[in-house]
């Protein structure tokens, strides 16, 4: 049995305006850095982690680094944990996207999996790479607990995939994923279970 604790990175400088960061390598705010330290304190109370992994984007690496240090483990980057690429929507607010390509944005809201933003990554492909990463992590740590810091959309896509929920429903089924709130998946005998979702650090 493997448990994977998936955590969204801390608050970024684009958070307040709700800009779509996607694969853009934006920085944490001071609050986001503090959330990473809070995550480290939480992790130090959870018992032994087998590994601490992160998306290669610095908002994840900076969030995960204090937890890795607290666990006495090296921080390992897993490229497949990076966020969905939002194409022309990268760095834009919804209002800006509405002005630039309103019809495509409306289609995305109706079916975010079937109608990605212009030039954006196929959500099914992103879910596939994310799930492949989790399977490989679990195979490397078949009896351990692993902390992995990733991103809002990728985590929700992976959750839909393992729970048999259509990808088009990811925004409705999981409307919000808080910064540094742990979500735990368990893999036992080839089957995934959701143990907790979007739990507060306490």
Q: Which distant-in-sequence residues (6+ apart) come within 8 Å of 180 by Cβ?
A: 7, 8, 9, 10, 35, 36, 38, 39, 63, 201
Our answer to whether residue 78 is catalytic in this structure is: no
Q: What does the buried/exposed string (b/e) look like for 62-99 if buried means 16 or more CB atoms within 10 Å of the residue's CB?
A: bbbbbbbebbebebeebebbbbbbbbebbebeeeebee
Closest CA to 2 of 135, 155, 106, 152: 135
Our answer to whether residue 83 is catalytic in this structure is: yes
Of 9, 78, 85, 151, which is the active-site residue? 9
Of 3, 11, 78, 83, which is the active-site residue? 83
Residue positions annotated with a catalytic role: 9, 83
């Amino acid at each position: 049995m493997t448990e994977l604790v998936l955590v969204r990175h801390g608050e970024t400088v684009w958070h307040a305006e709700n800009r779509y960061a996607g694969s853009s390598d934006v920085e944490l705010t001071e609050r986001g850095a503090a959330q990473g330290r809070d995550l480290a304190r939480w992790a130090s109370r959870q018992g032994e982690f087998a590994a601490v992994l992160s998306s290669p984007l610095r908002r994840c690496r900076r969030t995960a680094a204090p937890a890795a240090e607290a666990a006495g483990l090296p921080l390992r980057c897993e490229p497949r944990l990076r966020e969905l690429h939002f194409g022309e929507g990268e760095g834009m607010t919804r209002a800006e996207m509405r002005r630039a390509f309103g019809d495509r944005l409306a289609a995305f809201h109706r079916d975010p999996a079937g109608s990605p933003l212009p030039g954006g990554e196929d959500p099914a492909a992103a879910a596939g790479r994310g799930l492949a990463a989790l399977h490989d992590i679990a195979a490397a740590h078949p009896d351990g607990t692993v902390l992995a810091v990733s991103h809002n959309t990728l985590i929700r896509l992976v959750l839909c995939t393992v729970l048999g929920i259509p990808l088009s429903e990811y925004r409705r089924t999981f409307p919000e994923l808080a910064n540094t709130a742990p979500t735990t998946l368990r893999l036992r005998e080839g089957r995934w279970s959701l143990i907790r979702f979007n739990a507060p650090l306490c």
